[in-house]
Amino acid sequence: MPKRVLVVEDNELNLKLFCDLLRAHGYEAEPVRDGREAVPAARRFGPDLVIMDVQLPHVTGFELIGQMQADPVLGRIPIMAVTAYSSHEDEERIRAAGARSYVAKPISLARFIEQVEKLMAALDGDDAAKTPDPGEDPAR
């Protein structure tokens, strides 16, 4: 059974790119265009991973990460943030909100999939594949 990934992204091109890329790598991807629908969609879809744009209209990715982390069921799902923010302070803020990983825009497709696979491997208990090191350069 393929792993399930909820993709929360308001930019239609990025949403399609992320979902197509995930599907090409054997994941089941569920797109969410409006952040206000992210939490109900996560409850309904039951993802193994959430990919969250940080800059969304109506509700921020930070708020959504906080809502998901506070939920007893959704709080166990790892979140990978996707953002145009790329400073060290931004990384700390994103991780403090509860994201386990993040990838800076513009997206490197190889880095994107690498981070997804690391998070999925960590779910499977693979000790060789750990979540990214906090000091790792997010632009690589």
**pLDDT at residue 132 in the model:** 43
Secondary structure (3-state) at 33: coil
In Å, what is the CA distance from 118 to each residue of 32, 33, 44, 124?
A: 23, 25, 24, 10
Domain-embedded: residue 128: no
Q: Please choose, from the candidates 10, 74, 82, the residue with its C-alpha nearest in 3D space to the C-alpha of residue 46.
A: 74
Number of Cβ within 10 Å of residue 72's Cβ equals 6
**7-11, 115-119, 131-135: segment of lowest average pLDDT:** 131-135
Domain-embedded: residue 129: no
Domain-embedded: residue 72: yes
pLDDT tens sequence across 67-120: 999 999 999 999 999 988 767 787 888 888 899 998 988 889 999 999 999 999
**31-45, 95-109, 126-140: segment of lowest average pLDDT:** 126-140
Domain-embedded: residue 19: yes
Range of the domain at 12: 4-123
Question: How far is residue 120 CA from its own chain's centroid?
Answer: 11
Q: What is the DSSP string of 53-122?
A: ES--SSS-HHHHHHHHHHSTTGGGS-EEEEES--SHHHHHHHHHHT-SEEEESSPPHHHHHHHHHHHHHH
If you ran DSSP here, which 8-state letter would residue 10 be given? S
Domain-embedded: residue 40: yes
Ramachandran category for residue 122: left, alpha or beta (phi over 0 → left; psi -120 to 50 → alpha): alpha
Domain-embedded: residue 130: no
Q: How many domains does the chain have?
A: 1
State the CATH number of the domain containing residue 67: 3.40.50.2300
Domain-embedded: residue 119: yes
Domain-embedded: residue 140: no
pLDDT at 133 over 50: no
pTM: predicted TM-score of the whole model, two decimal places: 0.86
Q: Please choose, from the candidates 56, 77, 59, 60, the residue with its C-alpha nearest in 3D space to the C-alpha of residue 68.
A: 77
